[in-house]
Structure 1
Amino acid sequence: MTRIALVTAFPPSTGSLNEYGFHLANAFAERADVEKLIILADQMDGVGEALNLDDKIEVRRVWRFNDWSTPLRLAGAIRQAKVDGVVFNLQTASFGDREIPAALGLLSPLLSRLRGVRSGVIAHNLIDAIEVEKTAIGNNAWRAGLIRMAGKLVTHLLLKAHYVTVTLESFAELLESRYRARNVYMVPHGTFPGPEVEVMPMERRDLIVSTMGKFGTYKRLERLIAAFTVVRDRYPDRGMVLRIGGTDHPAAQGYLSALQDMHAQDQDIEFLGYIEEAQVAPFFAASRLAVFDYDSTTGSSGVLHQAAGFGVPAAYPLIGDFIDVTEREGLSGFHYKPFDEASLSKAIEAALFDTVCADEIVRLNLAVSEALPMATVAAFHAGMLQQKRSGSRQIRPLSMQSV
C-alpha cells in the first residue's frame, strides 16, 4: 500500500489545472494499492462549495499563489505527510504569474527528491514551447529574453525529479533533444469522468456556441464574438446564442468585465463567469459547438478534452499544440485559418448546420476520450512511484498498455 502526496491547485479554486488535480485525485483514490492520498493544495480567499471526496483523500492547503515561500512550505508539508512518493501537477505558472515566485515554486520537485522522497512531475507545458512574444510580456524583449534564459535553468532543475511526464509527444522530443533528458515519458492528457449526460444528435440541440478558459492574453474573445455575430446575423431567426464561461487571465484583470460592458445590449452573448466543476458537463453537453480561438498554445488543452468527452464538437485553429492533439491523439474538429475572422465564421456556420459531419466528429472524439481515462494516467504514476531505482536516467519507458 502506498501513501501519495499530490501537489496541485485544487477546487474550489480558480488556480490553473485545479480540475485536472481533482480528477487525478479521484483516480488515485480508486486504486487498491493507494492507502492515502494527501492533496497539498493552494490556499483560497473565502470558502467555496464543499467537495464530496473519497475517505482516502485529505486536502491540506499549504501554499499560496505568488508566495516566495512556497517551496519551503511544500517541503515541510511533504515531510509531515510521511508519504512514499509525490506527484507535482504543474504548468509554468502554477505557483505564480510573477517570475520569481513562479520559478521558486518549480524547484519543489528537486527539493523533494533531495529529501529522499520519490518525485514525479506532470508538466502540462514548457517554457521552451511557449511563444513568449504572444503572451502578456511579448512587447518587452528584454524581459522575454530573461524569462527564456531563466526558463532553461528551471527546466533543467525540474528534470531532476525522478521522472517527468508530458502530455504531448513534441514536448518529450524537445526535452530529449535539447536537454538530453532520459527520464521523460509521454502520457496523454487523459479524459475527465463526469456525470452521465445525454449526447444528443446535433439536429436536436439548440444553436448554442460555447467557449471556456482564462481570457485576455493569448486567449481572447473579440474575433470569436465578431465571427459569431456574422453567422447570427445571417440566420436572424434561428436563435443563436454565444455562451462564455471562465475568468480573466491573472495578467489581464478586468478584461472580461470590459468586454461584457461593451456587449451589454446584446442578448445573444452571455458571460457566465467561472463554471463550477459540477456544471462543466451540462455547460458543454447543451452546446452544438465549442470554439477555442487561441493566438498561440501552451500545452494540451484541457477544455478541448472536456468538450470532446462531453460530446460537443469543437472548432479550433491548427496551430502549435492543437496540431499534436489532432494528429497524434486523434481528436477531430472544425478547423479554420489562424487569426482569420472570416475563416472562423465559416467554421462556425459549417459546424452548426452540417449536422452529419458534426455527429461523426462527436462519435470519433468520444471513442478517443474513452481510450485513455484518468484511471490509466493514475496507474502510470502509481507504478512509477513504486519503483525503487535511484537514478532517473536508469528508468526505462513503461508501456501504457501495461498499466
Structure 2
Amino acid sequence: MGKRNLSSDLVFVSALPPDKGRLSEYADAVLREIEGSMNLTVEVFTDASAPSFGRILPRPIWRPNNALSVIKLWLAIIKSKTRLFHFNLHMAVFGRGRLPNLLGLLSPLIARLSGKKVMVTLHNLPAAMKLESIRLKTSILDRLGLWVAAFAIVKAAHVLVVTMKQYVELAKQKYGAKRVEWVPHGCWFTAERPVWKWRNRGKVLFLGYIGPYKDLEALAKAMEIISEKRPVTLLVAGTPHPNFAREALEEVGRLKGCSFIRFLGRVPDRELPRLIEKVDLVVLPYKTSTGTSGVVHLLSALGVPFVASDTPELRELELEGAGILISGLEPKYLAEAILKVMEDKELAERLSARSRRYAEERPWKKIAKRYVQMYGWLSASP
C-alpha cells in the first residue's frame, strides 16, 4: 500500500500527554516518530485535550473512569470512515472502575464488528499478573471480567502486538491468539551521550509511579540495612499511579519519617540526565510486573545500572541485554545487590555498558518503522 493511501487511513486509540500513567508516553513517542519521519497523518481518539503536532491530530473523546465517554468512543469508532485502527492498551488503561474499564477494553471488538482492520498493542496480560502478590481485592467477577476483556481483545485483533517475548506464547495458549507479533518497547535518550559514571556516592534512585505492584517499603528497609554500614540516600522520584492514588499516598505516608529518604516528586524528563549523573544506580522493586518496565527503557540510554526484583518480565529484559542485576525482593537480598553495584566499579561499569547497548538497539524510530510496516500489510490484506 502506498504512502498516499496509508497517510489518510489510520486512527490511533490511546491516552496522550498531558495524561500520565496510561501509556500516554509510549503513544507520544511512537506518534512523534511516525510524524517526523514516516510521512503519515494519524487521527488520535484520545482522553485529553492534546495539541496537534504536524500530521498527528488528537480528538479528545473519552475520559478515564467515565462509562458514558467510552460509549462516545464506540460511536466515534463506528462512524469513522477510516479503515485501519490501532489500539494502545493495558488492562486498566480506561480507569480503575469496573464498568468503564470493561467497556473501554471492548472497543477493539466494536471496531472489528464495524468492519475495521484492527491492530492492538496489549502491554500486559491478566494471565501474567500475580494480583494476589499486591494484595488487591479481586473477586471472581473481577477476574472473570479481566479474562473476558483480554479474550475479546485478542479475538478482535487482526494483529496482536506484545512488548514481551514471553507474552507471544501466553496469548496463544491462554486466549487463543492467532497472529501475535513481538515489538520491543522503545528507548528514550538514544540520541544523547551516556552521562552516568561510577562514583560510589551512596545515592540510590527509585523512579516511576508509586503503586501496590511495587514494594517501596522493602527498598526502604534495604536502605536502612545499608545505612548501618555506610551513609546512603534513597531518592524517590515519582508520584502516585492514577489508578492507585490512595494506596500510594498511604505508603508514602508510612515512609515520611525515614531520614535517609528524599522525596523529589515527579522529575521532568528533560532533568533526568542531570539526576542520573548524581546516583549510583536505579532500583526496581516490583512485586509483580504489569508488562515491561518503562523505567528501564526511559533511562538505559543514559548508561545507568539497575538492580531489579526477579519477575519474569525483568528477567527477560536482563536476558535480552539490559544492564540489570536481578535480586530477591527481601530487604536483605536487595541490600546485598545494591551494595554490590554501588561499591564494585567493574560490575557497575559492565552493567552501565549493557544498558547503553540495550537502548541503542531499541530507538523509537526503529519501533515506529516496524509499526508502519505492519500498517501497510494489514491495510493491504483482504
Instruction: Report the TM-score, using the length of structure 2 for normalisation.
Output: 0.89
1:38 corresponds, among 40, 43, 55, to: 43
1:7 equivalent in structure 2: 13
Q: Are 1:309 and 2:301 counterparts?
A: yes
Cα distance per residue 1:333-389 (max 9 Å; x no partner):
222123x11010011111111121111111112112111222222122212222235
Cα distance per residue 1:272-328 (max 9 Å; x no partner):
22333433444445422100111111211111222322211110122221122222x
Cα distance in 2 between the residues matched to 1:13 and 1:251:
12
Q: Are 1:353 and 2:343 counterparts?
A: yes
1:69 equivalent in structure 2: 68
Cα distance per residue 1:89-140 (max 9 Å; x no partner):
11100001122211110111121233333221111101111112123434x5
Q: Higher mean Cα deviation, 62-71 or 90-99?
A: 62-71
1:150 equivalent in structure 2: 145
Cα distance in 2 between the residues matched to 1:267 and 1:197:
34
| Conserved 8 A contact 1:84-1:385 | no
| Conserved 8 A contact 2:83-2:115 | no
Label 1:23 to 1:284 Cα distance change in 2 as closer, same or farther (>3 A). farther
Q: Are 1:174 and 2:170 counterparts?
A: yes
Q: Higher mean Cα deviation, 185-194 or 340-349?
A: 185-194
Question: Displacement of 1:197 after TM fit?
Answer: 5.0
Say how many residue pairs are matched.
374
1:272 equivalent in structure 2: 264
| Conserved 8 A contact 1:213-1:219 | no
2:222 equivalent in structure 1: 227
Cα distance in 1 between the residues matched to 2:193 and 2:18:
23
1:17 equivalent in structure 2: 23
Cα distance in 2 between the residues matched to 1:389 and 1:81:
19
2:192 equivalent in structure 1: 196
Q: Are 1:214 and 2:209 counterparts?
A: yes
* Percent identity for Structure 1 against Structure 2: 27
Cα distance in 2 between the residues matched to 1:302 and 1:27:
18
Label 1:15 to 1:295 Cα distance change in 2 as closer, same or farther (>3 A). closer
Q: Higher mean Cα deviation, 210-219 or 353-362?
A: 210-219
Give the AA of the match of 1:232. Answer: S
Give the AA of the match of 1:157. Answer: A
| Conserved 8 A contact 1:197-1:282 | no
1:333 corresponds, among 324, 342, 345, to: 324
| Conserved 8 A contact 2:196-2:302 | no
Q: Higher mean Cα deviation, 194-203 or 182-191?
A: 194-203
Label 1:258 to 1:72 Cα distance change in 2 as closer, same or farther (>3 A). closer
Q: Are 1:185 and 2:181 counterparts?
A: yes
Cα distance in 1 between the residues matched to 2:128 and 2:24:
22
Question: Displacement of 1:14 after TM fit?
Answer: 2.1
Label 1:28 to 1:81 Cα distance change in 2 as closer, same or farther (>3 A). farther
Question: Displacement of 1:152 after TM fit?
Answer: 2.4
Cα distance in 2 between the residues matched to 1:165 and 1:347:
34
Question: Displacement of 1:151 after TM fit?
Answer: 2.3
Question: Displacement of 1:260 after TM fit?
Answer: 4.5
Cα distance in 1 between the residues matched to 2:129 and 2:65:
20
| Conserved 8 A contact 2:190-2:363 | no
2:376 corresponds, among 360, 363, 386, to: 386
Give the AA of the match of 2:72. Answer: R
Cα distance in 1 between the residues matched to 2:277 and 2:369:
28
| Conserved 8 A contact 2:284-2:307 | yes
Instruction: Report the TM-score, using the length of structure 1 for normalisation.
Output: 0.84
Cα distance in 1 between the residues matched to 2:380 and 2:68:
30
